[in-house]
Every structure is written in structure tokens, then in C-alpha cells.
Amino acid sequence: MKFLCIDCDQQMRFEERAVPGDGTFAASFRCPTCDRSIALLANPMETQLVESLGVRIGGTTLDTPPLAMVRSSVEGRDDAFVDTAATAGPRAAWSKEAEERLSRVPGFVRGMVKRIYGEYAAERGIAVITPDVMDRARTDLGLEGM
């Protein structure tokens, strides 16, 4: 998929990808010549279609965790997996508010999300994971929607 600025006859550059939280995703592209930017707004069906392919709009490389689709999309048992990475080494505590927020993440993928935040905290010497830490991790790691 390429976006062409017709006036400048230039391919627009991918700038940003966003998940507004209404079942859709958005991506912005900018013309390197005239600086005009446009937004690609995908409807829920288009969003699901892209997700089902296991690829990412705006991402030129993928570093997906194992069984990413299985764990996120299959309605399965919560205890199907034991996250050995999450159970190894010192772990940060979770505040009540952070735990509550984590509980809203689907059970099948919750362990993976918890591990990501846990590693983020461990690498920075953070003792307690709070919603603020989660927000910072989300920004730093590009974890929209988690």
C-alpha cells in the first residue's frame, strides 16, 4: 500500500499509527515535499481483516511474541499457558489501580501484557507498577491499546 501526493507526485511517508478504541485503527501519512498529511481511517471490518492476516499497517518489521494471534484471538481457557519469563527473577508489585486496569485486558493475552509491563518496570528499577507507569510504558514501547 502506497499513498501518493498527486500534486507533488511524491510518495507520502508513514508517520503514525493510532488505535482510537472504537474497533478501528488509523494511520497518518505525510508528503515530504509539501508537508500535507492525510489519515487512513479503517472501519472495524477492515481493521479485523488486517489483524487476521497477522500483519501491521505502518510496521515494516514484526517482532511478535509467540502465538500472538492464538493468544489474543482465540476464546480459550485462562490457564492454558504458564508464562515462564514472568515467573522468573524479581518482580515489581502491582498497585490496586494497575491490577484493576490489567483485569480489563482479555484473559488469554493478559499474561503476555503483564509480562511486558513487568519487564519494563524491572529494567528501570520500578518497584510498583501503577497506571502512570503503564501509561509511560505504553508510550515508550508503542503498546497502543494495552
Indicate the angle between helix axes 107-123 and 131-141, nearest 10 degrees: 90
Retrieve residue 35's grid coordinates: 508537508
Map the footprint of other proteins across residues 10-69, applying CB under 8 A. 11-14, 17, 19, 21-25, 29, 44-45, 47-62, 65-69
Report strand pairing: 25-30 vs 128-129.
unpaired
At 127, give phi and psi (nearest 5°): -85, -35
Q: Which stretch binds other proteins (CB under 8 A): 7-15, 89-97, 125-133?
A: 7-15
At 68, give phi and psi (nearest 5°): -60, -45
Map the footprint of other proteins across residues 65-94, applying CB under 8 A. 65-70, 72-77, 79-85
Residues of this chain that bind other proteins (CB under 8 A): 1-4, 6, 9, 11-14, 17, 19, 21-25, 29, 44-45, 47-62, 65-70, 72-77, 79-85, 105-106, 108-109, 111-113, 115, 143-146
